Chains A and B, each alone.
Chain A
Amino acid sequence: MAAVEIRALHKRFGKVEAVKDLSFDVEAGRVTGFLGPNGAGKSTTLRALLGLVRPTSGTATFGGQRYDELEHPSSQVGAVLEDASFHPGRTGRNHLRVLAAAGEHPVSRVDEVLDAVGLNDAADRRVKGYSMGMRQRLAIAAALLGDPGVLVLDEPTNGLDPPGISWMRGILREQAAQGRAVLVSSHLLAEVAQSVDDVVIIAKGELRGRGTLAEVLGGDDGPATEVRSRDPEKLAHALESRGLRVERDGDVLLVPGATPEQVGEIAAEEQVAVLGLAPRMRSLEAAFFALTEETT
């Protein structure tokens, strides 16, 4: 069973269908990027997953259980939402102490997570004096308080400066490396491309693409391979005889739907010298626009 399962999720606000029949999984040990243009339904989906919004139909569960059915929710799921807000008059440490008390976590966890996000020095300052980056670090600390197996983050890099974005990227990878399932929504495509293993793309509330990053970047034909050879005609014939489509561009052959490994093996069987072999991928931006039909 996947760490997170979204099944036929549908959410309507009045006449607006925010999410339509959305289904996807998030696996443990992987960072899953949840992409879509503004108003695509990303935040609504995450809020439905976290029990903050009631789905019109469908389910959004953690290991088969709704968030509000979890025994100790903050010990199983940590969340950072886009509008993560804190009482301005409360210190960062006290904010975490309140959450630790509510989640029945030992108070010692407060210092541990403050240390993990590098917020020790500012922990006793009131949150109203925090920068955006410090607030995001505090939100991450709150999410990690219960040492959960799943992290759900909604646009966590919004408002962060480059060092902050780099830090967040490191945190995401680190958490996945420790076995956690990480679901992160973002519209910062370049940022996501460097951080995620899997991608789910939605637009207008509907699923437009999902799979590993390589699969999504490969386009509708899946992966594509560029190959240069001393004898391109012989190699092209060999590839075509095995049912592959070949596009010629001078000495370079483009083979949609084939991985470099497949092309390399065919070249070896035919004893054709290969001078260059590389996967050809769309940029995530191109894939995103192609899948969401958005133009700039």
Chain B
Amino acid sequence: MSALLRAELLKLRTTRTFIALTAAALGLSLLLITLIALLQDDWVEQDVRELFTGDFTGLFILLLGVTGMAGEWRHRTITSTVLAAPNRLRLLAAKTIAYAVAGAVISLLVTLAIMAVGTTILSVRDLPTLGIADLADGLWRNLVVSAFLGAFGVCIGGLVRNQIAAIVGLLLLTFAIEPTLLAVAPHIGQFGPTSGAPNGVLQLEAFGDDTDILSPAVALLVLLGWLGLVFAGAATLLQRRDLV
């Protein structure tokens, strides 16, 4: 298992996709945080907390996971991958863990960067900032959600082999279906995998009042439930599929 994990992490490091998506996530997140920190005037502590979680990292990590798995079919490398690791369940597990690690690493880089830049700008503007404990609290929440999204993306890529279809489906889920559910039926939307439950972990109040947000512990369980569900589906399909 550790050999497969090493191989998957090496795969990640040896193409430009990982670097490009990390750079894009970092660049866009820094731009967003800088603009908000510079332009918004009325700040309370919750605003600062949300400033350091409302970035683009999750979307890019989700896309990274999808391309990591669905790309195996797109580039037809799945054959050599399965030849090297004929136990397909272990292969999927290694890839899922690898992209969870990758998600956490990207999130660590981006979160530390935006916390440093955001805190500096807010300090210069003599606005409220977060203490070390609050920053650490925000950091672990970001890492957990990012790790989940990386793993979730891999499993979605295992369920939907067509990379474009998988990405379009996830974008629809993230930007249309879940926001709509959160707006019109928050008691259902709060359980969503890309916004609802992650908001519970992050304690974001994007829609409605805080009664529509799951507690972090429940949100974590919901995320694990989603991951178990999509992993089981992807594993079943991967094991049944003939690679012709």
Give me the interface of A with B, judged by CB distance under 8 Å: 13, 43-44, 47, 50-54, 67-68, 70, 73-74, 79, 81, 83-91, 94, 97-99, 101-104, 142
Contacts and interface: CB of A to CB of B under 8 A. Distances in A.
Given A44-B244, A88-B75, A101-B3, 20 more contacts: A47-B242, A47-B243, A52-B243, A53-B244, A68-B86, A79-B83, A81-B79, A84-B80, A85-B76, A87-B15, A89-B17, A90-B11, A91-B14, A94-B10, A98-B10, A99-B7, A101-B6, A102-B3, A102-B85, A103-B84
A98 B7 contact: yes
B3 A54 contact: no
B112 interface: no
A186 B95 CA distance: 34
What range describes how many residues of B lie at the interface?
A: 20 to 34
Contacts of B82: 51-52
B32 interface: no
Interface in B189-243: 242-243
Interface of B: 3-4, 6-7, 10-11, 14-17, 71, 75-77, 79-87, 242-244
B11 A89 contact: no
B83 A85 contact: no
23 contacts: A13-B244, A47-B242, A47-B243, A52-B82, A52-B242, A52-B243, A68-B86, A79-B83, A83-B76, A84-B79, A85-B75, A85-B77, A86-B75, A87-B11, A87-B75, A89-B16, A90-B14, A98-B7, A98-B11, A99-B80, A99-B84, A101-B6, A104-B3
A172 B239 CA distance: 33
A201 B6 CA distance: 41
Nearest to A44: B244
A89 B15 contact: yes
B75 A67 contact: no
